[in-house]
Amino acid sequence: MRSGPAGPPVVEQVDRGTFLVTGTDVNWVLLREGDALTLVDGGYPADVPAVEHSVATLGLHPRDVVAILVTHAHVDHLGAVNPFHDRYGTPVHLHPVEVAHARREHLEQLAPARVVAALWRPAVLPWAVRVARAGAGRDVAAPHARPFPTGQALDLPGAPVPVPTGGHTSGHTAFHLPASGAVITGDGLVTGHALSPVTGPQLLPAWFDHGTDAEMQAALSVLAGLDADLLLPGHGPVHRGPVREAVDRASGGRPGDGDRTRRGRRR
């Protein structure tokens, strides 16, 4: 992953009209149909120029983003939401349950005290400094966020189908792309992280999650049932192979997670 908010993002075309973009320790996805785009997630606040740059690499303008879909309302996925809405009038949509989180009517965020308590771990300090510079400590709220209809393909470029996968947050959502056999998994299933010693399908360390282990496993079961062999995660590289096999690998444990104690939800 790119080591900081400075510099251009890495834009990888993974299928016709589908692009996985790597920013500051986090990904977003661009879905293209002609001269129109759907943006899925928006990086950290300092990644906004990188999000705009990723659109420009496709020969388009941020005004061509017809909507932003957000997998969940953590700050590393909300960065471009307000600037795009304010500058270009871009509508922003989340699962109905997650809308209240995006509006900050309640919080399901990693508490800073948890990070401070883990600074003794070798990988934590450089990661914490890097994401702090990217805006991890900012209070980003999206009062204009609106719910999308569930259970059907959205009338947007890429025709993404919302797949509720609550656990990481209450309204966390993946997006299935049946035409390309892909699934955008957000943070419900990733393939790498700065705090993980391995690369490949895995769960984030438990301290990032706000649900129970049972909820996380239920979300994985939903993903396993999708007809997809291209996994586009919120963190880590693209993974090619049946999503069911990726889920099986991730269900084996949490690499690098020395603290599996589940927190209660912070609201």
Does the pTM surpass 0.85? The reply is yes
Which tens digit of pLDDT belongs to each residue from 183-241?
999 999 999 999 999 999 999 988 888 888 899 999 999 999 999 999 999 999 999 99
pLDDT exceeds 80 at position 20:
yes
Which tens digit of pLDDT belongs to each residue from 112-124?
777 777 788 888 9
Q: Are 232 and 17 in contact (CB under 8 A)?
A: no
Average pLDDT for 58-80: 98
For residue 19, what are the CA distances in angstroms to 38, 57, 122?
A: 11, 11, 32
Average pLDDT for 24-46: 97
pLDDT at residue 150, rounded to an integer: 77
Which tens digit of pLDDT belongs to each residue from 84-130?
999 999 999 999 999 999 999 998 987 777 777 778 888 899 999 99
